[in-house]
């Protein structure tokens, strides 16, 4: 495989994918923060307690991984701390 066909077949698509990911990462992080803030405001307006809200935010956080998403129902036992 000569260098021109390698760049055409592999190099350029890899470059475009990396470029798009690097350019979109700040936007995705900003949107994640906004969604989390909206989730907290909505939960508070529906009368949820701070412990329940913290459990939801922790459970759906992208940085925490998928294991915590499965345990969301375990963490939301009651609404003891209005």
Taking the CA of residue 13 as centre, how many other CA atoms within 13 Å lie in the half-sphere pointing to its CB?
5
pLDDT at 80 > cutoff 80: no
Nearest Cα residue to 39 out of 28, 21, 66, 31: 31
Tokens of residue 54, six digits? 């913290």
- Between residues 1 and 20, the one the model is more confident about: 20
Q: Which pLDDT score is estimated for 1?
A: 60
Render pLDDT for 8-54 as a digit per residue (tens, 0 to 9).
888 889 999 999 999 999 998 899 889 888 988 999 999 988 888 88
Residues in the chain: 82
pLDDT of residue 45: 92
> In terms of pTM, does the model score above 0.85?
no
Residue 71: the pLDDT is 46
């Amino acid at each position: 495989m000569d260098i021109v066909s390698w760049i055409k077949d592999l190099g350029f698509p890899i470059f475009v994918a990396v470029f798009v990911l690097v350019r979109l990462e700040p936007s995705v992080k900003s949107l994640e923060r906004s969604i989390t803030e909206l989730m907290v405001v909505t939960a508070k307006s529906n009368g949820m307690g701070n412990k329940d809200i913290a459990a939801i935010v922790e459970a759906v956080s992208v940085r925490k991984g998928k294991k915590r998403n499965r345990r969301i129902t375990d963490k939301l036992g009651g609404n003891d701390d209005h």
